[in-house]
Amino acid sequence: MAKISFNPRTTAYPMPVVLVGATVDGKPNYMAVAWFSKVNSNPPMMMISLGKKQYTSQGIKENRSFSINLPGKNLITETDYCGIVSGRDEDKARLFETFYGEPGNAPMIQGCPINYDLKLAETIELPGTHLFIGEIIGAYVDEDKRRGHIPDLPQAEPFMLVESPPSTYHQLGPQTADAFKVGKKLKQ
């Protein structure tokens, strides 16, 4: 198939969406974030990339704490709102019930089935963003969205941002294969 160049600023992979929590100006604030990833296994670390002027960035720098909350599809409207509106202008935390792992840490959202509590480990400055790398110090799952002590991710009903204009949210689809298994047949 012939290849066509496209604008390299277009993000062409499905981006799971989370709500990042932080205490800003003494109050809980939540922001929708699609640029994040696990980055280290031991200790477990995740990174988020936020615009330098984001209200949340200010709170993370002040308190060296943030949370990553995975919303289910029942929170798509609230999540989208948290990506459109700044905490400088509106109180976004009013939409959620907030809880804390330890006092002084970042606020987390009770209504999100999966929550990570993180301590800031490193901040990398890029041209337009701050890359915040945090160590996970707590992980929580709703009692009814797990198998044993492991989160049952499909039950949490996460959703993905697809940025081919117009941008849309997509559900997680059906299982297609077993990971770390199906490829064994190609071993030489």
CA 93 – CA 87 distance, rounded (Å)? 9
124 contacts a copy of itself (rule: CB under 8 A): yes
> How near is the Cβ of 57 to a copy of itself at its closest, in Å?
14
The whole-angstrom separation of Cα 149 and Cα 141 is 9
Q: Please list the residues that pair with 124 across neighbouring strands.
A: 131
Give residues with Cβ within 8 angstroms of 24, minimum separation 6: 55, 56, 58, 59, 62, 87
Q: Pick from 78, 117, 75: which is nearest to 100 by CA?
A: 117
150 near a copy of itself (CB under 8 A): yes
The position carrying tokens 């707590």 is 138
Structure tokens given for 79: 């999540």
Least distance from a copy of itself to the Cβ atom of residue 101, Å = 9
CB of 161 to a copy of itself, least distance (A): 6
Stretch that binds a copy of itself, among 19-27, 53-61, 75-83 (CB under 8 A): 75-83
Quick check: 103 binds a copy of itself (CB under 8 A)? no
For position 88 contacting a copy of itself by CB under 8 A, the verdict is no
Determine which residue in the list 27, 61, 73, 119 makes contact with a copy of itself, applying CB under 8 A.
73
**Number of residues forming the site for a copy of itself (CB under 8 A):** 108
Sign of CA pseudo-dihedral 10, 159, 33, 124:
negative
CB of 8 to a copy of itself, least distance (A): 4
Give the Cβ contact number of residue 31 at 10 Å: 26
- Is residue 154 a contact point for a copy of itself (CB under 8 A)? yes
Residues 29-68 that bind a copy of itself (CB under 8 A): 34-45, 47, 49
Under the criterion CB under 8 A, does residue 165 sit at the interface with a copy of itself? yes
Least gap, CB of 127 to a copy of itself (angstroms): 6
If one asks whether residue 120 binds a copy of itself (CB under 8 A), the answer comes out as no
Distances (CA, A) of 43 to 9, 65, 140: 32, 16, 17
> What minimum distance in Å lies between the beta carbon of 58 and a copy of itself?
19
